[in-house]
Amino acid sequence: MKKTMLGNYAASWGAQLSRVQVISAYPITPQTLIVEKLSEIVADGKLDAKFIKVESEHSAMSGCIGASATGVRAYTATSAQGLALMHEMLHWAALARLPIVMTNVNRAMAPGWSIWADQNDSLSQRDTGWMQIYASSSQDILDSTILAYKVSEKLLLPTFITFDAFFLSHTLEVVDMPPIEDIDKFLPPYNPEYKLDVNDPRSFGALTSEEHYYEFRYKMQKAMEDAIPVIKEAGRGYEKLTGRYYDLIHPYRCEDADLVLVTSGTIAETTNVAVDELRKEGKKVGNLKIRIIRPYPKEDVLRIIQKCKKIAVIDRNISCGYHGIFAQELKSALYNEKEIPVWGYIIGLGGRDVKIEDIKDIADETLKNDTPKDLIWKGVKL
């Protein structure tokens, strides 16, 4: 069934189709509509779930952790300062190996106060042990929520799906909603081997000495490494169900590209249009959309860019004191593997619009120059 809906509602419907059992949430712009819709769905009896209203995002994640530890499917949503307030509990959820799924609507961090898109909020949480998905359409948001539970519950790792504020959260797109009967077959009820159970008492999260903590981290890293084939397998299963395949990366016209643009989020969709126009001008340019940054799809990225002559990474984020974070990740993947020059562009921070002309300008600038630069700001007004 196809419906026209906001990106935020695609997240709500994704949680409903996944039959989440506990929603623990605190509203924050621009995420608020997600949990408002879910509260209506639960109140109307359309979803058999507990909706827990809490006083902060720290408590929202704490509620999810407690719920997930009892073996139920838990969900929450947040954005920017709210995600930052969860930071302590993000580590706790990951190291406790709880398959919580969360939506984070990408929003610039304050000050100055902003409610518009950039990726510094989610990328600040790269090292907490959560898998991170960067959705670029409302369909991607809904499907990724379902897929996230499928993968998280197999690996016992949490996942968040993140997408650009207002460019997706508050815009309407047509979304194909799979029948819930099909999703029930794809995503059966979660029933972990170990859980809080009054009839089978266990201890979780107790003091751990140096004899064991090191191994916790090792097993978490192994689970992240195992995630790559699990994500691909889940994507193929979902494709059989819906006809839509989701991988860790999505290359577009990269086969013979001299220049590969590396993008994420909604900028990736704009870049596909720019690539088509550049191709009509005779310029061999492709677009490599990074959909998942944790685990990092190193082997897939190297396979796609192996024949190109130049790479330009377009970051809607900045690691101040260094440069764009997706650019850092790509250079790390290239080191000791490939010698391809990389240009790093910063654009669109705080929700500044990124147009097709901006992408074409970046491509032209990179094609004309032979000396790569780590940090190139586009559109700064001084």
Residue 159's pLDDT is: 98
CA-CA distance, 176 to 138, in Å (whole number)?
A: 10
DSSP assignment of 174-223: EEEPPPHHHHHHHSPPP--SS---TTS----S----TTTHHHHHHHHHHH
Burial class (CB in 10 A: 0-12, 13-18, 19+), 66: middle
Residue 225's pLDDT is: 97
> Which contiguous run of DSSP H or E holds residue 79?
none
**Which residue's structure tokens are 């099909």?**
182
CA-CA distance, 186 to 198, in Å (whole number)?
A: 30
Q: What is the DSSP letter of 262?
A: E
| Backbone Cα Rg of the chain | 21
Q: Which two tokens stand for residue 89?
A: 């509990």
Residue 322's pLDDT is: 97
Which residues are within 8 A (CB) of 55 and not within 5 positions of it... i.e. 6 or more apart?
26
Residue 304's pLDDT is: 98
Residue 110's pLDDT is: 97
CA-CA distance, 289 to 350, in Å (whole number)?
A: 21
Residue 231's pLDDT is: 98
Segments in the chain forming alpha helices (H) = 7-17, 32-43, 57-69, 81-85, 87-95, 120-123, 138-155, 180-186, 213-242, 265-280, 298-305, 325-334, 356-368
Contact 81, 87 (CB under 8 A): no
For residue 120, the Cα-to-chain-centroid distance in whole angstroms is: 12
Using the Cα atoms of residue 302, residue 303, residue 306 and residue 310 in order, give the sign of their dihedral: negative
Q: How far apart, in Å, are the Cα atoms of 183 and each of 146, 180, 196, 223?
A: 8, 5, 27, 25
Pairing of strands 285-290, 249-252: antiparallel
For residue 240, the Cα-to-chain-centroid distance in whole angstroms is: 23
Residue 96's pLDDT is: 97
The pTM of this model reads 0.97
Residue 163's pLDDT is: 98
CA dihedral 51, 63, 68, 170 (to 10 degrees): 60
Query: How do the pLDDT tens digits run along the chain, 382 residues long?
Result: 999 999 999 999 999 999 999 999 999 999 999 999 999 999 999 999 999 999 999 999 999 999 999 999 999 999 999 999 999 999 999 999 999 999 999 999 999 999 999 999 999 999 999 999 999 999 999 999 999 999 999 999 999 999 999 999 999 999 999 999 999 999 999 999 999 999 999 989 999 999 999 999 999 999 999 999 999 999 999 999 999 999 999 999 999 999 999 999 999 999 999 999 999 999 999 999 999 999 999 999 999 999 999 999 999 999 999 999 999 999 999 999 999 999 999 999 999 999 999 999 999 999 999 999 999 999 999 9
